[in-house]
């Protein structure tokens, strides 16, 4: 069944090419298509297109379909082009002519827009919850290990003292920036496009404010052409938010891969979180973190993939937009799995508390020595030369006490302030 069927057949090759894997992807959106249909039906009832008895039977059947979807009993067979045609078929099969009325004053164009907007709102909410869970663990680890020093590097060269408290909480606070990006994507998604029909509105006196309220949107996309132009723009907004999260996770995963190597030996994990080698019995490989790094790097390409798909399309619907789902929906699930695995792993991280006993880290404290001389009255440039000369002659002996007290430093992590900042972002 095709909603645009006029009574003649379509060549099978064309059908396969144009539908693609939409049926599988539409199973993810099926719940939202039903919710949109319930709201639309109630609005049609207000318009007196559906009678009191008809709205009762339509809503009952749609709720039954919703129940089937929730229980995994909903399928979209090859005889149907998409989720919209399958649901309309089920309504018509059960209710006859009443079911045929459901498509009054709407198009598949605004149906899929509603589905995607509602779906993205739910997914953004879930991603934010996962980020908050990871944030909480990072803050807890920062507090637990706040006094354990860690070498800081610039140019991959030993630079200055850092700490595990600083390291863990740096990624925690970075996640707040990612929440800001996701909030922007949520704001864009939280606009009701229903009623734009094929992109130019309808001659029916539909009540778009009613469906906005019924579907839980904050506002509606007023201009019907603008509503259709949100297709692609909404998905791209989320893609940029996901890319921000993925960037944070990828960098963190890279740090862990580096810090797990024998050359660093800063952190380790239980054997069950690492993998071995088929020929080297000593190996404990960071495969989980390498895959998180790779998967998140791929997600960071998503905004540009969606940009290239939608770039320079004219206003109005174009079939190119169908391809957005195939890129975005799997990427959402990939990001969620990366968050889940990283959360699980970091709960079990083991920190090396004796790193700085290795003499190669003695030079971490050259800046501390320069600053001490300055505090004793030596001009900074002279102090720099004095310490530099000691290093050159092999006479530098570090004092491994660190006294950093300013906001955001080793001795003043501001964990409570960062937690408050996250709560406000959420």
- CATH second-level architecture of 108-146+164-204+219-356? Up-down Bundle (1.20)
Please state, rounded to an integer, the average pLDDT across all residues of the chain.
92
Write down the pLDDT at residue 316.
87
SS (H, E, C) the chain: CCCCCCCCCCCHHHHHHHHCCHHHHHHHHHHHHHHHHHHHHHHHHHCCCCCHHHHHHHHHHHHHHHHHHHCCCCCCCCCCCCHHHHHHHHHHHHHCHHHHHHHCCCCHHHHHHHHHHHHHHHHHHHHHHHHHHHHHHHHHHHHHCCCCEEEEEECCEEEEEEEHHHHHHHHHHHHHHHHHHHHHHHHHHCEECCCCCCCCCCCCCCCHHHHHHHCCCCEECCCHHHHHHHHHHHHHHHHHHHHHHHHHHHHHHHHHHHHHCCCCCCEECCHHHCECCCCCCCCCECHHHHHHHHHHHHHCCHHHHHHHHHCCCCCCCCHHHHHHHHHHHHHHHHHHHHHHHHHHHHCCCEECCCHHHCHHHHHHHHHHHHHHHHHCCCCHHHHHHHHHHHHHHCCCCCCCCCCCCCCCECCECCHHHHHHHHHHHC
CA nearest 112: which of 227, 264, 202? 227
Percentage above 70 pLDDT, the chain: 92
- Looking at the chain, the domain(s) classified CATH 1.20.200.10 span 108-146+164-204+219-356
Write down the pLDDT at residue 4.
44
Would you say residue 182 has pLDDT above 80? yes
The residue among 314 and 19 whose pLDDT is bigger is 314
Write down the pLDDT at residue 157.
93
Least confident of 275-284, 344-353, 385-394: 275-284
Write down the pLDDT at residue 30.
95
Q: What is the mean pLDDT of residues 133-146?
A: 98
Write down the pLDDT at residue 274.
65
Are the C-beta atoms of 183 and 425 separated by less than 8 Å? yes
Would you say residue 266 has pLDDT above 60? yes
Write down the pLDDT at residue 400.
87
Q: What is the mean pLDDT of residues 142-165?
A: 95
Q: Model pTM?
A: 0.91
Q: Which tens digit of pLDDT belongs to each residue from 342-377?
A: 999 999 999 999 999 999 999 999 999 999 999 999
Write down the pLDDT at residue 11.
61
- Looking at the chain, the domain(s) classified CATH 1.10.275.10 span 12-103
Any idea which fold 12-103 has?
Fumarase C; Chain B, domain 1 (1.10.275)
Write down the pLDDT at residue 81.
85
Would you say residue 6 has pLDDT above 70? no
Write down the pLDDT at residue 9.
55
């Amino acid at each position: 069944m095709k909603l645009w069927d006029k009574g003649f057949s379509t060549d099978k090759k064309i059908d396969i090419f144009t539908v693609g894997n939409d049926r599988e992807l539409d199973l993810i959106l099926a719940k939202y298509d039903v919710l949109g249909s319930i709201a639309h039906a109630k609005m049609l009832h207000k318009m007196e297109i559906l009678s009191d008895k008809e709205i009762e039977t339509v809503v009952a059947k749609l709720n039954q379909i919703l129940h089937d979807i929730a229980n995994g009993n909903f399928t979209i067979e090859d005889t149907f082009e998409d989720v919209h045609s399958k649901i309309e078929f089920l309504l018509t099969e059960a209710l006859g002519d009443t079911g045929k009325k459901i498509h009054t004053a709407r198009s598949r164009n605004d149906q899929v827009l509603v589905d995607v907007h509602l779906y993205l709102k739910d997914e953004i909410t879930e991603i934010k919850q996962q980020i908050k869970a990871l944030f909480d663990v990072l803050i807890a680890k920062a507090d637990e290990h706040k006094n354990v020093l860690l070498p800081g590097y610039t140019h991959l060269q030993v630079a200055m003292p850092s700490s595990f408290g600083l390291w863990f909480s740096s990624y925690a606070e970075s996640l707040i920036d990612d929440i800001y990006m996701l909030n922007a994507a949520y704001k864009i998604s939280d606009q009701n496009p229903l009623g734009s029909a094929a992109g130019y509105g309808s001659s029916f006196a539909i009540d778009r404010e009613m469906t906005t309220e019924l579907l839980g949107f904050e506002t509606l996309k007023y201009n019907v052409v603008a509503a259709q132009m949100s297709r692609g723009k909404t998905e791209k907004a989320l893609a940029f938010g996901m890319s921000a999260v993925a960037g944070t996770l990828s960098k963190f995963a890279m740090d862990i891969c580096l810090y797990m190597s024998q050359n660093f030996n800063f952190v380790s994990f239980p054997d069950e979180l690492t993998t071995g080698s088929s020929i080297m019995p000593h190996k404990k490989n960071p495969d989980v973190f390498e895959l998180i790094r790779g998967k998140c790097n791929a997600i960071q390409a998503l905004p540009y993939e969606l940009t290239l798909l939608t770039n320079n399309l004219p206003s109005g619907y174009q079939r190119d937009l169908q391809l957005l789902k195939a890129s975005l929906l799997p990427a959402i699930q990939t990001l969620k799995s990366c968050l889940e695995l990283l959360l699980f792993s970091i709960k079990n991280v083991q920190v090396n508390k004796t790193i700085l006993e290795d003499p190669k880290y003695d030079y971490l404290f050259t800046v501390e020595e320069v600053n001490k001389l300055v505090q004793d009255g030596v001009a900074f440039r002279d102090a720099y030369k004095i310490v530099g000369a000691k290093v050159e002659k092999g006479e530098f002996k570090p004092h491994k006490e660190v006294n950093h007290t300013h906001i955001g430093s080793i001795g003043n992590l501001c964990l409570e302030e960062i937690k408050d900042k996250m709560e406000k972002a959420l």
